[in-house]
Chain A
């Protein structure tokens, strides 16, 4: 049985009680070894996130005393062992397994790092802290309690991190639950999971620099996808009304606390729905997920690093909604020209950025200037989940024009702790307008904005076969996992994150 099953089954034994007529077989890694004499050894056996004490007493062993002493003196911290024995509680009340036999299944050839103790704290105390600290999603973590604390080692040799730092397995368990919760949620709404290509002829659906590779036999240049969006919409055109994909997306960009070259994207598309429907759906998905995983709608998060106090984030629906242009105007006391594609608007926003000391690197396209103002005035206010809605057309080449507000689109971005978590819109399904939008992107590109979207002709001609009214949403799984595991660094939630080459 597993260690967890063992604990569940025998936790109610009395102090000093032994169940000698039962034979249990367990396996795991030894992370602690103590001996009180050559005939009595204590081990901590770890497996799948659980721990149990092994009380190896020569009197219970199948080996004779000499053999026993010799074998156990050779068992090292780090070895993987299999044990057959009986359950019981020690005189101190600790649930243990008493081995009849113990065999090393795989020896460990290296010394495992030990808990390093900082000079001003007492070892026993810190040991105790480690033991009592049992992390669950939604509460804060304390990296000081980790046995292995060097970040480089933790990420480069994740297996050591998993082995030694008890909460790391739980972090990845939480990540797995986020994904399975999302899948179940959509499956119950009649969505089907699909797979679209990771390697494509053009890199569309987002504004980002792609990875390029080459297919030898076909002698063909291929791009790694930067978004699955255009392919998913093609499937909706093909008649699959509700589709989603959870998959890797690749962007050839620099790395920082929230960006890595490959990350996991969750996108879904729903025919006959609009962005209002999606706001309701994503509120339900996120608040339900947070409630199920943490027992509450509120989480604690070290959004400003472990040196600062954690912030509380409240996922109770409905989430706040703010209108992008209106909110900037009221916060900055501006009156932004209505025609955002005009020169006047561009000049106005450039001056506004200067006035409020908002930095924007060239090229100063209207879309980039607005984006900076959003960052300065709006994102800062979005600690609790907040929808920023109705982005201008010039910022949203794939979103449908707003049904009642000229120049704007039916789009929202969901911000949590000042970071974008979701991006969604009523999809643009008029092929002629889509072509115009691509043409405008080309203009920005010519101004030097190399992240402006490129025209995808196969997508435009697909739209000519008719995309039903559809709403679509993309959400970064890694960012959601960061929030629910109190991880200010995205590398905490990715098993094997990309790292700079070692010298």
Chain B
């Protein structure tokens, strides 16, 4: 028979006495503990190495764990048969709940220790997963967790119907999903409980829940088997609840301003609206390649041409690029476009969205992100890229002549000492003054922008879809929003001149093809160079249909794209994008 072990105690029951029982240090006054060998061994490991860094023990413990797992599974499969032979279906059909655990905790929060409420009106019914249990001779305590929280099941042999107490002891395991009904009681120790009259096994689990799922060695597994991570660590599920709240709040904010939600295609004949390598697929019946969208921009702008004045789309974007703590091949953005406004209006919108979400999720505007205190109180700093670069590096790009070489020398002289060779060569590779300014900004300024900052007026060379600045030649009416050194939003007064747009996109294609041709001509070189080569091996085509749409006339407009995953990271204090995406893309496991 499988042991009665206490598995990952939730905070509400993690009292010292329980912990002692877990590690076999208890005084075991009347405590029934029948651990099977495997579980005993696992617990012994825990006792010796309570720390999370258990790397040393992986190889051996993995093999024992696997055989444990199989042994437990075999035992539980027998229990499934046993239940069926008794006419009990171990996989139930439904359960009517009268309350959630949290509701009960709230309704009965004033119930005194030791008090019981037995009348019909306090008869309740709940369901959830058993996450801990202790059994004595004629008494058992189970901790049940549902979507909302936990509550104790107080099971007394006399109180339960027929042989249900025996069933509870022999056939119910930690991890099983149970429905239970009974009256309300707060134990002498102060634990609110359902005093069970009857229960039903709703789902018999076959696999044991892991003891220490949070161990460093399991990071990969946490993402691969997110559901186990969520069972083991309820705070993980909370991130996804908060994510849903954030999505809802964003929608509420933009819809209250009259924006209409639309859906534009994922599969496209040409992937435009950003510079990124697209995913390619093949449509059998059309007999042609299709690209997965890398942005929603060009289609949403067509909506403005069509007469919609305020549109938004929240949707998945796909980029065929490497994975990191900040990048997943598919991610979610909101893009929004508003006719007859300019980028100033989008700054207000960005402030509004982020602060509303912060209040909804955290209830306050001062938040902590990975140890840094972030002040989201409005208004946020608005500063031009030129001034920020000057402030940090001392180089005033407005005073530089048009000579790119001279400019590079000035920059390298001013900041060259602190540069590593990679940054140095990327500065030297800049094809224009605008690129140079942006490169210096990315290297020196970006990481310093911890508090929310709108960086304004980007050079035209790196902003192919933004409108030329109404006062400053060579610049565009564009901003990016930075928080914690990361870009969160990108917005501009949209370029509406079809001829200018065509020229800029053609130039982009030309530049790309040039890079591609260079990459092809370099046949050998170092491994690193090869990587760079491959990065530009995809094809970029002109979206002629979009340019035609502009020729029919797009009203003056502003637009913004905001990364929702990054916003969720910020507001849930998550270090990696994988913590806020339920099923991130991972390398193929060995």
Binding site for B on A (CB under 8 A): 2, 27, 29, 46-49, 78-80, 82, 105-110, 112, 156-163, 168-169, 172-173, 175-176, 179-180, 183, 187, 192-199, 209, 211-218, 220, 222, 224, 231, 234-235, 237-242, 247-248, 250, 252-255, 261-262, 264, 271-274, 277, 400, 403, 410, 426, 429-432, 458, 461-462, 464-469, 471, 494-498, 500-501
Q: List 9 A-B contacts (CB under 8 A).
A: A109-B553, A159-B306, A220-B587, A222-B585, A261-B267, A262-B266, A272-B179, A403-B93, A496-B302
In chain A, what residue has the closest Cβ to B234? A239
Which residue of A is nearest B586, CB measured? A218
Chain B neighbourhood of A216, CB < 8 A = 277, 320, 534
Closest to A184 in B: B248
A10–B90 CA distance with the chains assembled, in angstroms: 68
| Distance, CA A277 to CA B260, complexed state (A) | 32
What residues of A have a CB within 8 angstroms of the CB of B202 in the complex?
272, 468-469
Contact B267 A239 (CB under 8 A): no
Return the contact of B553 from the options A106, A220, A277, A500 (Cβ within 8 A). A106
B230 CB–A CB distance under 8 Å: yes
On whether the beta carbons of B318 and A198 are closer than 8 Å, the reply is yes
- Check if B267 sits within 8 Å of A234, measured CB to CB: no
Is B237 touching A240 in the complex (CB atoms < 8 A)?
Answer: yes
- Looking at the complex, which one of A47, A217, A242, A403 makes contact with B147 (CB distance below 8 Å)? A242
Interface status of B137 (Cβ within 8 A of chain A): no
Check A238 against B229 for contact (C-beta < 8 Å).
Answer: yes
Cβ–Cβ contact A467 & B203, under 8 A: yes
Closest 9 CB pairs of A and B: A162-B306, A238-B230, A238-B227, A466-B205, A159-B306, A192-B244, A241-B147, A108-B553, A159-B305
Given A192-B240, A238-B230, A462-B227, A495-B320 contact (CB < 8 Å) = no
Contact A262-B267, Cβ < 8 Å, known A163-B305, A274-B93, A464-B205: yes
B175 beta carbon closer than 8 Å to chain A: yes
| Cα distance, A2 to B555, chains bound together (Å) | 14
Q: When the two chains form their complex, are residues A255 and B285 in contact, meaning their CB atoms are under 8 A apart?
A: yes
B467 smallest CB distance to A (angstroms): 12
Residues of A within 8 A of B234 (CB): 239
Q: B39 to chain A: closest CB distance in Å?
A: 17
Residues of A near B277 (CB, < 8 A) are 216
Contact with A along B251-274 (1 / 0, CB 8 A): 100010010111111110100000
The answer to whether B330 and A27 have CB atoms under 8 Å apart is no
A183: chain B residues at CB < 8 Å are: 251
B73 within 8 A of A: yes
Interface pair A199/B585, CB less than 8 Å apart: yes
> Which residues of A lie under 8 Å from residue B422 when comparing CB positions?
none
Given A176-B262, A214-B280, A496-B265, check contact A469 B92 (CB 8 Å): yes
Q: Does B485 contact A (CB under 8 A)?
A: no
Q: Is B108 an interface residue (CB 8 A)?
A: no
Nearest chain A residue, comparing its CB with the CB of B339: A27
Partner of B286, one of A110, A496, A500: A500
- CB neighbours (8 Å) of B228 from chain A are 238, 465
**Per a CB cutoff under 8 Å, which of B91, B261, B318 touches A180?**
B261
Does B262 lie within 8 Å of A235, measured CB to CB? Answer: no
Known contacts A192-B240, A466-B176; 4 further A-B pairs (Cβ under 8 A): A80-B553, A157-B548, A216-B320, A261-B290
Shortest beta-carbon distance from A208 to chain B in Å: 12
Among B17-25, B321-329, B363-371, the stretch in contact with A? B321-329
A234 touches B226 (CB 8 A): yes
Give the one of A163, A217, A430 with max B CB within 10 A: A217
User: Once the chains bind, are B303 and A495 in contact (CB under 8 Å)?
Assistant: yes
User: Across the interface, do A240 and B93 meet the contact criterion of CB distance under 8 Å?
Assistant: no
Task: Kindly state whether residue B193 has any CB partner on chain A within 8 Å.
Answer: no
* Beta-carbon contact of A253 and B93 below 8 Å: no
Asked whether A240 and B339 contact (CB < 8 A) given A163-B552, A192-B241, A501-B288, the answer is no
Q: Answer yes or no: B177 CB below 8 A from chain A CBs.
A: yes
Question: Given contacts A213-B292, A215-B320, are A48 and B307 in contact (CB under 8 A)?
Answer: yes
Asked if residues B302 and A158 are in contact (CB atoms below 8 Å), the reply is yes
Complex Cα distance, B328 from A466, in Å, reads 29
The reply to whether A231 and B316 form a contact with Cβ atoms under 8 Å apart is no
Contact A169 B240 (CB under 8 A): no
Q: Are A176 and B261 in contact (CB under 8 A)?
A: yes
Could you tell me if B307 and A49 are in contact, using CB atoms closer than 8 angstroms? yes
- Residues facing A in B194-228 (CB within 8 A) are 202-207, 209, 224-228
Contact A400 B93 (CB under 8 A): yes
- Asked whether A218 lies within 8 Å of B303 as measured between CB atoms, the reply is no
Given A48-B309, A199-B329, answer yes or no on A78-B229 (Cβ-Cβ < 8 Å): no
The answer to whether the Cβ of B136 comes within 8 Å of any Cβ in the partner chain is no
Given contacts A211-B282, A212-B282, contact A108 B552 (CB under 8 A): yes
Question: Which single member of A161, A220, A235 contacts B240 (CB below 8 Å)?
Answer: A235
Q: List residues of B (64-100) whose CB comes within 8 Å of A's CBs.
A: 73, 77, 80, 89-97
Given A217-B322, A468-B203, A212:B147 Cβ within 8 A: no
Measured between beta carbons, the chain A residues less than 8 angstroms from B501 are none
Q: What's the minimum C-beta distance from A147 to chain B, rounded to whole angstroms?
A: 13
Q: How far is the CA of A214 from the CA of B93 in the complex (A)?
A: 40
Contact of B280 among A194, A213, A218 (CB under 8 A): A213
Q: Which residue of A179, A235, A426 contacts B227 across the interface (Cβ within 8 Å)?
A: A235
Q: Is the CB of B329 within 8 A of A215?
A: yes
B291 nearest in chain A by CB position? A213
State how many angstroms separate the Cβ of A463 from the closest Cβ of chain B: 8
Is A106's CB under 8 angstroms from B237's CB? no
> Which residues of the partner chain B approach A215 to less than 8 Å between Cβ atoms?
279, 320, 329, 585
A239–B320 contact, CB under 8 A? no
Query: Contacts of A426 on B, CB cut-off 8 Å?
Result: 93-94
* Interchain CB contact under 8 A, A262 and B265: yes
**Once the chains are docked, how many angstroms separate the CA of A458 from the CA of B308?**
44
B415: interface (CB < 8 Å) = no
In the bound complex, what is the Cα–Cα distance between A187 and B245 (angstroms)? Answer: 10
The CA of A138 and the CA of B322, in the complex, are separated in Å by: 48
A272 touches B227 (CB 8 A): no
Q: For residue A8, give the distance in angstroms from its CB to the closest CB of chain B.
A: 14
- Residues of chain A contacted by B545 (CB below 8 angstroms): 156-157
A273 near B226 (CB under 8 angstroms)?
no
Complex: how many Å from CA A238 to CA B521? 51
Contact between chains at B175 and A466 (CB < 8 Å): yes
Q: Which residues of the partner chain B approach A467 to less than 8 Å between Cβ atoms?
A: 203
User: Taking CB as reference atom, which chain B residue is nearest A478?
Assistant: B263
Interchain CB contact (< 8 A) of A172 among B177, B204, B262, B302: B262
Identity of the chain A residue whose Cβ is nearest the Cβ of B207 in the assembled complex = A464
Instruction: Give the chain B neighbours of A161 by CB distance below 8 A.
Output: 306
Q: How many Å lie between the Cα of A179 and that of B282 in the bound state?
A: 29
Tell me which of B177, B179, B207, B236 contacts A461 (CB under 8 A): B207
